Chains A and B, each alone.
Chain A
């Protein structure tokens, strides 16, 4: 499954499939970008980050891609599991500490 920008706030994906969550950012001066996961009733939880001088970074089952030309960020989740159901936020960090969060994409995993 794939979401497009911040205007499609929900993503439904079959368990075991790969998920792609997209995000457009606005600040060219951002020094790094972060993906957060927020489960119901909990605070956001750090997933992975990427420096602005990189274009790809991999973690455990997750990959973040950064395209600075079009100011686009994506999070790929491999083999999506029921525990991946949550709201996912991209955030851009600038001025060393300021985190500006996107609107979020709700991911629902179908069994």
Chain B
């Protein structure tokens, strides 16, 4: 398996623009997580899906952030409109029911200028 695949790896956008981050979890994993990593706040859980259903979105910063999981093999995290303070590395992770191990993607480094 290729692991968790995220795209793009890097994204530079102007303030006010819409940004969409994509994630393909490991096949067979039923849990999917979106995390954000910054120097100031570390790794923060944004949203958790179980069997494609959002279970906990309490970490989503504002209404500008939204996440979807239309099927078991794809998820998106959208920021609209983007702001400079959204600049961070965004990670997607997936996990199967039978294990405690969450597998992380390579991340998307987002820069909003």
Contacts and interface: CB of A to CB of B under 8 A. Distances in A.
Give chain A's interface residue range (CB within 8 Å of chain B): 10 to 19
A89 interface: yes
A99 B106 contact: no
Interface string A16-54: 000000000000000010100000011111100100000
Given A42-B106, A43-B106, A97 B100 contact: no
Contacts, number: 42
Interface residues of B, number: 20
Contacts of B33: 97, 99
A43 B100 contact: no
Given A44-B91, A98-B56, A104-B42, A93 B50 contact: no
13 contacts: A32-B100, A34-B101, A41-B106, A43-B4, A43-B107, A44-B43, A49-B101, A89-B43, A99-B33, A99-B102, A100-B45, A101-B42, A101-B43
